[in-house]
Structure 1
């Protein structure tokens, strides 16, 4: 017997707003909504797919009356795939994210941010292929 990691649930005040932010940030789509919840994903899960292999979990935003208390004990790490980390941070700021200080200190290779409801997440190094000297895209692993 085994289980699969199928959803990551985020308690929030405004599921629609948070789902819209994360859909824009991750290029996800709304796959279900109803009542006080909105579920987003990069794919539409089926029971057959999930039984066959571990699939990426969905994000489920659920309305709760209470506010957040203290630093998150769980957070998302995201990696830009087609832009430099600083460009992705600027894009996320424009979407409604804010810089966050969780005591990380200077000189880190990641940037700590918060979504529109204050949930921390990290933007890691880019996974975009390095640019060639002529300004085009090269191939290979992402540069820090």
Structure 2
């Protein structure tokens, strides 16, 4: 028996702002909760974990200890620009410039990466 990732939960200050960003970024559909939270679901036929945006009422502090690594189904550079257009920004977490990914932050400063390629086993 093993555990599998099924959902990514993110505490957010502004649920509506983050629903707009993350549903647009991932192409997920939105289910608003009665408690002010929102669950994002992969598009029909797509795979991937759900995302639960849980209102916390407080701003993020410090660097994330867990973050998403995303891969584009097209050009990674174009995907970075698309995400910036949705409200992301470049983030510096100490990268050297030699990485095979770009670090971005969402509108509430949660870091995530756009990988240049799908991870492969050695």
The TM-score bracket by the shorter chain reads 0.7 to 0.9
Deviations 1:88-121 (A, max 9, x none): 1111110000000000111211000000110000
Deviations 1:40-85 (A, max 9, x none): 01057xxxxxxxxxx732100111122212100000011010x211
Q: TM-score, normalised by structure 1?
A: 0.72
Gaps of 5+ in 1: 45-54, 128-144
Report the Cα offset of residue 36 of structure 1: 1.9
Instruction: Give me the CA root mean square deviation.
Output: 2.0
* Higher relative contact order (CA closer than 8 Å, sequence separation 6+): 2
Q: Which runs of 4+ in 1 moved over 6 A?
A: none
Structure 2 equivalent of residue 71 of structure 1: 63
Q: TM-score, normalised by structure 2?
A: 0.84
Q: 1:32 to 1:105 in 2, by over 3 A?
A: same
Larger radius of gyration: 1
| 81, 91, 99: which one aligns with 2:82 | 91
**Structure 1 or 2: larger strand share?**
2
